Amino acid sequence: MNGRVLGVRAVLIALVWAVSLCAHGQVATAAAVKAAYIYRFLEYVTWPAESFRSAEDPVLIGTMEYDDVAAELVRVARTRRINNRRIEVVLVREEAGVHALYVARTDTTRGQRLIDNARERPVLVITDGPDGLDRGGTINFVPSGDRLQFEISLEAATRAGLTVSSRLLTVAVRIRKSDASGSRYAGRGSHLLHRALGFLGDTLLGRDGAFHLAGAPSHETFAWR
């Protein structure tokens, strides 16, 4: 088994484990699955050193509203860390000092403004819409039946000064790059990738949607930034 296959398997195991943070109780919601993916995305992205003032600085995840995904992110942040850093989830009116930004509604004026404000800053913009990458997202969720997949824009990552691990790129359903002329294209992965994504989708939600997570989403409040 070569290193590439081992790398793919390692990322898949990490993503599946993220969704099984607790494994008994309510059926996993779409919000819980997305929050688990977001948490794992952060482990495979590197920010410029100047993005953190000290080793104690937390990783800040900004959200445009306190929705179910934000509530699940708060739950994850209570017990998980990213490279030994605490995680804090904050509501943002304007992009302001966050390391990752989750924009659930890219088709709104406010959602687009948040994305635009994050351009050319070291912010991992995670979107959830059919045209998320076109609107400036770095990673965009792509639903496919009962599975959740994602696509990545290397163009946006490079513009933001972020480095995306090749392991994460390997399990993306699409990768958008820039060629010499500046035009953009979407590339599809290998047969191994599609098999891997199929395994990931079936494991996360189950063929009958019967995957379980414990605990209801938290509804505590937190401050605007």
Predicted local confidence at residue 30, as pLDDT = 87
Mean pLDDT taken over the chain: 75
Q: Check whether 207 has a pLDDT greater than 50.
A: no
pLDDT of residue 72: 95
pLDDT in tens, 119-171: 889 999 999 988 999 999 999 999 887 788 999 999 999 999 999 999 999 99
Residue 143 confidence (pLDDT): 82
* Domain spans, the chain: 3-213
Instruction: Looking at the chain, list the stretches that DSSP marks H as alpha helix, in order from N- to C-terminal side.
Output: 3-19, 30-43, 68-77, 109-118, 154-160, 166-170, 191-205
pLDDT at 146: 74
Pairwise pLDDT comparison (83 vs 182), residue with the higher score:
83
pLDDT at 186: 47
- What are the Cα distances from residue 26, in Å, to 12, 88, 156, 159? 23, 25, 36, 40
3-state SS of the chain: helix, strand, coil percent to 5? 35, 25, 40
Query: For position 174, what pLDDT does the model report?
Result: 93
The pLDDT-based confidence of 37 (bands split at 50, 70, 90) is very high
Mean pLDDT of 65-93: 93
Res. 3 pLDDT band, cuts 50 70 90 = low
Relative to beta strand 124-127, strand 100-103 is parallel
- Two tokens at 98? 């966050």
DSSP-assigned beta bridge partners for residue 90: 62
Q: What is the pLDDT of residues 173-186, one digit of tens each?
A: 999 987 444 444 44
**Extended beta strands in 92-135, E state:** 100-103, 124-127
Decide if 80 contacts 132 (C-beta within 8 A).
no
* Beta partners for residue 152, in sequence order: 139, 175
147-153 and 139-144 as β-strands: parallel, antiparallel, unpaired?
antiparallel
Least-confidence region, from 31-45, 47-61, 79-93, 171-185: 171-185
Residue 148 burial by Cβ neighbours in a 10 Å radius (0-12, 13-18, 19+): buried
CA–CA dist 14, 32 (Å, integer): 15
**3-state SS class at 8:** helix
pLDDT at 225 > cutoff 50: no
Residue with token string 């599809």? 188
pLDDT, position 28: 62
Cα(140)–Cα(176) distance, integer angstroms: 11
CA 52 distance to own-chain centroid: 20
Segment among 1-5, 87-91, 100-104 with least mean pLDDT: 1-5
How many Å separate Cα 78 from the centre of its chain? 18
Residue-level pLDDT at 96: 66
- Which amino acid, one-letter code, is at 210? A
Query: For residues 195 and 136, which has the higher predicted lDDT (pLDDT)?
Result: 136
Q: Among 72-76, 112-116, 194-198, 206-210, where is mean pLDDT lowest?
A: 206-210
